[in-house]
Amino acid sequence: MYQGWKWIVTFVAVLFLSFSSQVFAADRAQKAEIAKEKAEALEQTVVTEGSDINPPDSLVITKPGVQAVDPTGTAPLDDPITCLARAIYWEARGESVATMEAVASVVINRLGHEGFPETVCEVVRQGGEQGSCQFSWWCDGRMDHAQNEQSYTFAKEIARRALNGQLPDRIDGALYFHQRQISPGWGRNFIKTNQIGDLVFYKLREGVAP
């Protein structure tokens, strides 16, 4: 008799855990979809109004929402949150918060500039994947999956704040950056705005095309 009850309790517990997992997965998927929809609306606001935006509360991406997107860091680069978070992660993981925010700002500044593509993913992937890219991680020939969960979680939070228009202006409208250890020839055509951590940032000179 005791063994029978033990089996029943175990069976009910397994059913409960399975149901709870399904509910959690469905809730996360719903939060992710809402966050993606808000991000797409926000990126178009940047395109039409510029990078200095103040979105209505209804469009502000929440922390649970952004973290529900691409939880494993392996999703395709086909939504604004994933594309921006991966750019932040690969260009500045291990750097300071200020450096990661500055990289995010470069992407948003490009999105709001008429000389660049009109979606975050197109900005990040501009130039193709075979050596002519704008961001080095995109054309380095290696997989683009995030490999450190903690760093990627933080990158997604910075992406959220960037899309919400909540980042401080640390780089004065910069559209470009490079590692401080190198001196690219194109740097002389632009105006240096700041050096943050290991990165140097530049904006356009008047009359210079992007």
User: Which DSSP symbol is given to 61?
Assistant: P
CA separation for the pair 50, 68 (Å, rounded): 27
Ramachandran category for residue 163: left, alpha or beta (phi over 0 → left; psi -120 to 50 → alpha): alpha
176-179, strands of its sheet edge to edge: 176-179, 199-204, 190-196
Answer with the residue of higher pLDDT: 131 or 139.
Answer: 139
* Mean pLDDT, rounded, for 155-167: 97
More confident residue, 4 or 118: 118
Residue 5 has pLDDT above 60, yes or no: no
* 90 token code pair: 């690969």
Section 73-92 average pLDDT: 96
C-alpha 120/C-alpha 126 separation (Å) is 10
Stretch (H or E) spanning 107? helix 97-111
* Residue 16's pLDDT band (cuts 50, 70, 90): very low
